[in-house]
Amino acid sequence: MLLWYGFDDKNKVLKNKFRNGVALSLIPQILLVSWLGGNPEVVETYYSNGIYPVISQFFRIIFGWIPFSVGEILYVLLGVFGIRYTYVNRLKIKKFPIEFFRNIAVVLAVFYFTFNLVWGLNYYRKPIAENFAIKDSVQISEVIDLAERLILKTNELQFQLAKDSAKRVQVPYSHKEMFHKTLEGYEQLQEELPFLGYTHSSLKSSMFSSLASYMGIGGYLNPFTNEAQVNELTPEFRFPVVSGHEVGHQVGYAKENETNFIGYLVTVKNKDRYFQYSALAYGLSHCLSAIRRADKDKFDELYAKVNTGVQENYKELYEHNMEYLNPFEPIFKSAFNTFLKANQQKDGIKSYSKIVELMVGYHQKYPL
Alpha-helical segments (H) within 119-208: 128-132, 140-162, 175-192
CA distance 258 to 353: 10
**pLDDT tens, N- to C-terminus, the chain (368 residues):** 444 445 456 677 788 888 999 999 999 999 999 999 999 999 999 999 999 999 999 999 999 999 999 999 999 999 999 999 899 999 988 998 999 999 999 999 999 999 999 999 999 999 999 999 988 778 999 999 999 999 999 999 999 999 999 999 999 999 999 999 999 999 999 889 999 999 999 999 999 999 999 888 999 999 999 999 999 999 999 999 999 999 999 999 999 999 999 999 999 999 999 999 999 999 999 999 999 999 999 999 999 999 999 999 999 999 999 998 876 656 555 554 554 555 554 554 344 458 999 999 999 999 98
Rg over alpha carbons for the chain, rounded to the nearest Å, is 23
Residue 344: φ, ψ to 5°: 65, 20
CA–CA separation, 238 and 315 (whole Å): 12
Q: pTM to 2 decimals?
A: 0.88
* C-alpha 294, offset from chain centre: 27
User: ∠303-307-311 over CA atoms, to 5°?
Assistant: 65
